[in-house]
Structures are given as C-alpha cells and as structure tokens.
Chains A and B, each alone.
Chain A
Amino acid sequence: MKKKNRFSKPIIYILLILLAIISFIPFYMMIVNATRDNKDILMGFTFVPGSSLIDNYKTMMEYVNIWNGFKNSLIVSISVTVLSGYFSALTAFGFAVYNFKGKNILFLFMLLMMMVPGQLGLIGFYELNKVLGTLDSFIPLIVPSIASPFVVFFLRQYLSSTMHPALLEAARIDGASEFKIFHSIALPIMMPAVATMSIFTFIGSWNNYIVPLVVLFSPEKYTLPVLMGFLKGSQVAQNLGSLYLGIAISVVPIMIAFLFFSKYIISSISAGSVKE
C-alpha cells in the first residue's frame, strides 16, 4: 500500500504538469512566433523568441489598427456590463419586493425565455435594426443587455435570501422614496452578486462574435473578435509574424487580467453552477 503511494504520486504530478503544458503551449508558440519574422517561422519552430517584434508590429499597423478594435471592444463590453448590472438589479428588486398583478407570470415567462438560444431571433434582430437604422452602430450590441434574464434571476434569488423586509420598512418610515431605497439600500446589498455576474457578462460580451459580425460593417467599428477574422482575410496574413502578433495583442491583456482576477472568476464559476 505504501509502496503504491510512493509510485503514483510522481505520476499524478507528471500528468498534471503535462496538462498544464498542453493548456499553455499554444499561447507560448503564439508569443514566440510574434517575435520572429516570416522566414524564421517557415523554417521551423523554436522555443527561443526572435528579434522581429517591432518590425511585425509596424507591418500589422500598416493594415489594421488593432488598438481601435481593442477600444471598441472595451466600450461595448463596459457599457454592457454596467447596463446589465444596473437594470438587472432594478428588475430583481421589483420582483423581490413588490406584489403586483401578473408578477408570477412575467417572472415565469422570463425564465422560459432564458432557455431560448440567441440565434433564434438573429434574422429578425438584423431586420429590426435595419428598420431602426441602427445597423453598423454599437446600439444593437449594447442596448439589448438591459434585459438580461439570467442576471435578473440570479440577483432575485440573492436578494430574497439576503435582504430583510424590516430594512425596507424602516427606510419607508424615515420617508425615503422607493427609488431612494433601491439606490441606497438594495443596490449596495446586491453589489457582491452584481460583481459576480459582471465578470461573466463582461467576458461574454468581450467574446461575442456572431452579433457584431452580423451588425457591423465598417472595419473601424469592428470589435476585437470580428477584427481577428478580418485580420486573417487581409494582407497581414501573408506575414505570419504580424498575424501572430495581432492575435497575441488580443489575448495577452486578458491573460494578465486573469492573473489578478483568477480567484474571483473561478469562485464565480463555482457559485454559478452549484445551486444546492
């Protein structure tokens, strides 16, 4: 028994380290190749970085301004996160605190709509934005996030278990208006849950590909995922080093952010999945 343990422990660690290498090596290849010129990349793979980083950057910037895509993605994702956080909290508060006609039906309807995949209404969504004249703008990417059923559902569950009705009664007796109560009492209480959901909302919006692909036409408005596709089809693709660099620029900041936030991100995945 003891002997077996001594044997299996190194095997387990070797397995784990191997998986960690597999998880990371494509990123490593990307970073190394981003610093090498076309000729070197064609000749074979090495583990040592090259010296063509600045040349690759210049070549890429001649064709595509990647920072612009970065800015667009930031604008969209931050707006989406803020709007979805605020309005979901508002809606969750409405459902958790007040009793009104049709409340249960509306809530049930919202839950049912949560199951509907995004592609179902895609064509109608495109046509609607054509009629509204909002194609090739950020509006179809940002405004719909006001209605995020999953976030509402999560916040309502959170609110009904953390906010005591006596708190509201006390505020009402002090003469606070209902919206004042929401802003000064309920919203701060919900903040941890809003933060948890915000991480998901932000990543989801940052990675969204199909909607921006459908509604945006001008390259200067492209978000990062769409810009990546554009990069592949453009002249840059002939210079592999530049293409690798473009991908690296889209990826590395997220990896750095993850270094700082990984604990929160991982605990929010766990919190979102385990309901018991």
Chain B
Amino acid sequence: MKKLDYKGYYFIAPFFLVFAIFSIYPILLTFYYTFTRYEGYGEPVFIGLENYARILTDTYFLEAFINTWKIWGFNFALQLGIALLLAALFSDLRFKVKGLGFFRAIFYLPNLITISSVAILFSIMLDWQYGSINQFLMKLGIINDPINWLNSPFTAQVSVSLILTWMWFGYTFIVLMAGVSGISKEYYEAALIDGANRWQTFIYITLPLLKPIMLYVLITSLIGGLQLFDLPMLLTDGLGSPEGSLNTMVLYLYNQAFKYNNYGYAATIAYALFLITVVFSVIIFKSMYRDVKLSKKRGNM
C-alpha cells in the first residue's frame, strides 16, 4: 500500500476545473431549464413538470424518435452486413485476397470527410433534375426517369441511410478486421482440415468469436446514430423536410432551442434523448453480453 500523496491533485486540477465549468455545470444548468419556460432573454420561469408532460404527448418528438431509429437501423444492418462479408473474405485461408491495405484505406475515405461537406455534396448530387446521381444512373440505364430523392419521405430516409452506410461501412470493416486478426489461426486451420466450407467457417468460427467486437460496434453506432444531426440538417431545409421525415431527435432539439427559442423544452428533449440512449445501451449490452458469456461457456465444454 502506497502512502497518500497530495501532489496528484496538482496534476488533475486543470482537468477537473475545466470539466466542472464547461461540462458539469452546463449539464446541471440544462437540467434546471427542463423545469422552466425560457425564451433566451429575461429570467427562466419555473413551470414544474410541464415540459415533461409535453414531451410525453408530443407527436413531433415521437415522430423524430421513430425517424431516427428507422434511419439508423436500416443503415446499421446494411453496414454491418457489408463489413462482415468483407471481413469474411479477407480472413479466408484458402486464398489470400490481396490489397487489404489499399481497400481498407479506400473504404474508410468517406468517413474522414467533414459530414457537413458530405451533406452539401449529396444535397446537390441528389437533386431531382440536375443531380449527378440521377444523371449517372440514367446514363447506365438503371433508371429511366429521374427519382425525386429528397422529395418523398421514404426515399429521403433511404437516402440518409445509404449515405450513412457509405460513410461508415469502411470504419466498421476496419474494426471487425482488427477483431478477426485477433482470432487464432489454429481455428481456421483446424476447420480447413475438417473440410468445413467457407460458409461453415464463417458461421461457426468467425461470427461467434467476433461477438464482443460486434457488441462494441453496435453500441457505439447506436449512440452516434441517436445523435444524428448534420446530415438531416443540411440535406434539406433544416426543418426535417419532406413531411418531417428527416426530423431527427437532435434536429428537433436544435430547432426548438435555436430557431424557436424554446430553451426549456429543448433542454427536456436533451434529457429525454440521454435517457433513451442509456436505456437502449443497457438493454443491448445486457442481452448481448449474456449471449457472449453463454457462447464462451459452450466453447469451453
């Protein structure tokens, strides 16, 4: 047991000072605002639980909640599917697929670019009449008439989902590859000797051993996905058009606060968002972690 040494306080003091002022105090202040009506000028007026009552019956918030899940969910399923397929290909022992470094870099590139640049780029490329994507698809003969991507709720949500997939599948692939490289080669060699085909190797070796990594990817992606903001904000008019289909929870929060000056209600949305994130993270973690433990036990038997 080392003896107590007060000198440590000097080293951590700047961190906790700034942390208290710029992180904790704003969080507490925001919590206080959830009980008030506050338009950004004058004093906040205490109104008790009115904001909480409002959010429970707010159909716009419910809609934003559903939109966020739809957009994130479709994107995540697709993204994970592509990344798993790629990981399976690159971990194949029968023949070494060449160019891992090159493909990793190229697949990861979209993730590196400022999301707002990506959003503006796609907002003009998805234009109905003049957008390059329609022009390109028509040139290839995939479609005959231009699609009005950002004008109908369904295609707008699909567009955002696909852009997210485009941005993130490379990252997920890199993370999964890191997990694959941690799996002992002996498993694959043994499978090869036993005559397992590629599909069996993937289902019985790669997939179960990747579960902890997939859990990590799932939770980080969920937390990021529930905070979806930049793309929906910049792709259309910033208000969630068409027909509110791109209205996500954080976009709703932003507009309530900085467009309509409802700081009190926006603060309540922030806390609701936090609560939702925590609840779903815990649920996913609990259910997946139990699975991981079970499969580990089974593996030992």
Contact = CB atoms under 8 A, between A and B. Distances in A.
A218 interface: no
Interface string B133-163: 0011001000000000000000000000000
A254 B174 CA distance: 19
Contacts of B253: 119, 122
Contact of B258 (A100, A146, A214, A271): A214
A144 B86 CA distance: 39
Given A90-B14, A269-B171, A228 B116 contact: yes
Given A116-B274, A232-B120, A269-B174, A124 B30 contact: yes
Contacts of B115: 207, 209, 225
B27 A19 contact: no
Interface string A222-260: 001110110110000000100110010011001100100
Contacts of A166: none
B91 interface: no
Contacts of B171: 269
Interface in A137-189: 140, 143-144, 146-147, 149, 152, 178-179, 182
B30 A98 contact: no
A120 interface: yes
**Chain B binding surface, main DSSP class:** helix
B109 interface: yes
A120 B114 contact: no
The majority secondary structure among interface residues of chain A is helix
A123 B174 contact: no
Contacts of B254: 210, 214
Contact of B95 (A5, A124, A231): A5
Contacts of B27: 116, 120-121, 124
Nearest to A132: B21
B118 to A, nearest CB: 8
Interface in B239-285: 250, 253-254, 257-258, 263, 266-267, 270-271, 273-274, 277-278, 281
Nearest to B122: A26
A103 interface: yes
A214 B250 CA distance: 13
A266 interface: yes
A124 B124 contact: no
Given A98-B11, A123-B270, A147 B18 contact: yes
B23 interface: yes
Contacts of A42: 129-130
A178 B8 CA distance: 10
A147 B18 CA distance: 6
Given A29-B125, A123-B266, A229-B116, A273 B213 contact: yes
A94 B11 contact: yes
B301 interface: no
Contacts of B120: 228-229, 231-232, 243, 247
Contacts of B106: 20, 23-24
A149 B12 CA distance: 12
Nearest to B271: A120
A143 B250 contact: no
B33 A266 contact: no
Contacts of A273: 175, 178-179, 213, 216-217
Contacts of A266: 104-105, 108, 174
Interface stretch (B51-59, B72-80, B226-234, B287-295): B226-234
A54 interface: no
B124 A147 contact: no
A253 B129 CA distance: 30
Closest 3 CB pairs of A and B: A94-B11, A98-B8, A124-B29
Interface of A: 5, 9, 12-13, 15-16, 19-20, 22-27, 29-30, 33, 41-42, 44-45, 87-88, 90-91, 93-95, 97-101, 103, 106, 110, 113, 115-128, 140, 143-144, 146-147, 149, 152, 178-179, 182, 203, 206-207, 209-210, 214, 224-226, 228-229, 231-232, 240, 243-244, 247, 250-251, 254-255, 258, 262-263, 265-266, 269-271, 273-274, 276
